[in-house]
Structure 1
């Protein structure tokens, strides 16, 4: 039993803490979740032997954990973490190369690697499903966005699953019910000049090299971003957003060469009706305006779009939404907050694409003050969300 569990005095909390410990022990990088899925299935089979826990492989090393207890909604969360594996593989993002500290439970609080995305919601979902004994549980692989793919785990599940009418997405968020999620796309900006050498900076185009003028390109993208947000007012309950997540140029092993290309990668959140071609056209026009007449004149600008998915929404009169509202008030003794302009998106869009009425709801967490790879979540909050999921699966508030 994990340290500090007995004095918490709750069987619900004991299961949650044990599940968090299992999840913390095995890395679950996106598309390579098979070991983590197997470890979770083994633990669950020991804890709840009456339920059949199945590891569903997909791709080369991807895997889902699936369990079914007859009719009822689908309860979904995802196994992979935003940061790969052990949390050391993205120092460009975190600024850290040391391994994150192991899970810590103290004074009713859990602190650990990627609890927010998505280990804390996974623990609540698994425990709730086991106690409710109704519906279907899917802990999917590949639930985080990444270039070159989206939703492989949930799509593999849906390819062979029987018809599903409703779903609950267990993922962290605001203290309310999310019934609509925006679309998303990756954009790559490629500004190309001419290579040169550091000893003769005038040989490059622009003179001194394209990296020297990267600020102009960044400013141009920010100008486009401001126009984009101003022209896409919140649509229903979802809103638009955009941000630069990566910038690259040159060869780190030979910086005496001035590179010809500057690459910027953006993540763009879209409202209903958006088109990738429109995003590319607008951003390209802004870049051309900045390039003309300045030091980058003569360089070319090109925008590539990787479209992830369209915005999707569930009718707020759907039974799963009504049930979630009633269950929320029963568990929290207060109405859920009204959510508008939401800019987060999950595999809930894939479920809605397949005609499944879906509501997203999950616990709140904050980043650790000592390590941004670790999140902090109150076990009492997590326990309440477990009770909420139970109510939606098999209690009086089940749809």
Structure 2
């Protein structure tokens, strides 16, 4: 099993699969799988202009799900630098004893490889390694949504993703919020020509301070429902033209990612935040600026009943694999594909190995091969025992 896992990981490592452009990777992976397991009908399901997912089935059975795309684009140095601070090439997959390190192992090449190897050795169930599985603004139809729209859905599913060292059957929802503070443009040599004088970006501190206060209040109101909790953070700030900073921009833009395990209406959240920011800006140099907050929902929180068969079987498999029941957890803030499956009536659990940043390069993840093997065995057992 370890050698097969490494073979899959090396193939994925040499095949970029940026979100929405996974089709080449999906076809390459299909050909590789068909050569090794010719008794299985491996298919590429295409979606969007260049998206692609790998799908295969052993007749009836549960769905084992992970995805092909990575959070960062290993071919987009400029985009990566904005997040990681480095545009240098990322080194190849490396193995040192029990540890494997490489780009995109955590999201989600490690668990995807374990899912593929587990499925290839099973005798029932379905496998979907979907394209467009990572969150993205204006991301369009995902590989999972395209599959669910065109194929019969099973009664149960397993999401193979890295996460906490336990079993999840409840995941939070998420949304993006965009804050725009708009004044009037001007020129640096004539600061009074802008509104406010000196430009709207000069007043960013006022907006950021109020956002920090709002975040504290949002998190303090977390009711901690089920296994989940709340999270919120600023992921991007923009304003002006980098190639011509002698111009004072008219707009300041701040983008936030918001997670909620409890029912939260994104539009209402945006409206409340806008009112708060307008009140704060009215008491500052930004008093003559317009303030707007736009919400883009990603998914709503969803839970599978804790006594559902998929949870019961997964608990037993976990206990046998790791020698103890899955530890209790609360406040989990990772929202992933399970919410989409649950929204369509599919009882779903999520489990997978724990990734950590590799020493020396936070763009690379480190995983234990022994743990990856253990999760692959659990996935194989769940394929054999879960209801179809």
TM-score, normalised to structure 2, is 0.97
Distance in 2 between residues matched to 1:293 and 1:26, nearest whole Å:
53
8 Å CA contact retained: 1:13, 1:383: yes
Q: CA deviation at 1:272?
A: 3.1
Q: In the alignment, which residue of structure 2 is the partner of 1:160?
A: 150
Counterpart position of 2:36: 47
- Alignment match, 1:265: 255
Structure 1 residue 337 displacement after superposition: 1.3
Paired residue for 2:349, among 353, 359, 363? 359
1:130-181 per-residue CA deviation (whole Å, 9 max, x = no partner) reads: 1112100000011000011366100111112123100000000011111011
Aligned counterpart, 1:308: 298
Deviations 1:182-239 (A, max 9, x none): 1111110000111111111122111111121211111111111111111232122211
Q: Which residue matches 1:8?
A: none
Question: What CA distance in whole angstroms lies between the structure 2 residues aligned with 1:48 and 1:293?
Answer: 67
Gaps of 5+ in 2: none
Alignment of 1:206-245 (within 5 A): 206-245=196-235
Q: Is the 8 A contact 2:176 2:295 kept in 1?
A: yes
**In 2 relative to 1, CA 382–45 (structure 1 residues): closer, same or farther, beyond 3 Å?**
same
CA change 1:87–1:17 in 2 (3 A) is farther
Query: Structure 1 residue 333 and structure 2 residue 323: aligned?
Result: yes
Distance of 2:140 and 2:109 partners within structure 1: 19
Match of 1:199 among 173, 189, 194: 189
Q: Does structure 1 retain, via aligned residues, the 8 Å contact 2:18–2:70? A: yes
Task: Sort the Cα spacing of 1:87 and 1:178 in 2 relative to 1 into closer, same or farther, 3 A.
Answer: farther
Instruction: Give 1:106-145 correspondences, 5 Å limit.
Output: 106-145=96-135
**Residue 46 of structure 2: which of 51, 57, 67 is its match?**
57
Counterpart in 1 of 2:86? 96
Does the CA contact (< 8 Å) of 1:151 and 1:347 recur in 2?
A: no
Aligned to 1:7: none
1:71 paired to 2:52: no
Q: Deviations over 1:319-357 (max 9, x none)?
A: 110000000011111111112111111111111111000
2:312 corresponds in structure 1 to: 322
1:248 aligns with 238
Partner of 2:25: 36
Query: Shift in Å at residue 369 of structure 1?
Result: 2.1
Q: CA deviation at 1:50?
A: 1.1
Q: Write the deviation string for residues 275-323 of structure 1: whole angstroms up to 9, x where unpaired.
A: 1222112211221121122111111110011111211110111111000
The CA deviation at 1:398 is 3.6
Where does the alignment leave 5 or more consecutive residues of structure 1 unmatched? Answer: 1-11
Deviates more, 1:280-289 or 1:238-247: 280-289
Which aligned segments of 4 or more residues in structure 1 are displaced greater than 4 angstroms? none
Quick one: distance in 2 between partners of 1:122 and 1:347?
A: 13
CA distance in 2, matches of 1:340, 1:306: 26
Contact 2:182 2:252 in 1 (8 A): yes
SS at structure 2 position matched to 1:75: strand
Q: Using the alignment, how far apart are the partners of 1:138 and 1:169 within structure 2?
A: 10
Asked if the contact 1:224/1:282 (under 8 Å) is kept, the reply is no
Q: Match of 1:373, SS?
A: strand
Q: Provide the aligned length of Structure 1 versus Structure 2.
A: 386
1-side partners of 2:237 and 2:186: how far apart? Answer: 20
Q: Which residue of 2 aligns with 1:288?
A: 278
Q: Distance in 1 between matches of 2:189 and 2:331?
A: 51
Q: String of CA shifts for 1:37-57, please: whole Å, max 9, x gaps.
A: 111111111111111110111
Q: 2:159 aligned with 1:169, yes or no?
A: yes
What's the TM-score, normalizing by structure 1? 0.94
User: What is the DSSP-based 3-state SS (H/G/I as helix, E as strand, rest coil) of the residue aligned with 1:138?
Assistant: strand
Q: Give the Cα–Cα distance (whole angstroms) in 2 for the partners of residues 152 and 163 of structure 1.
A: 16
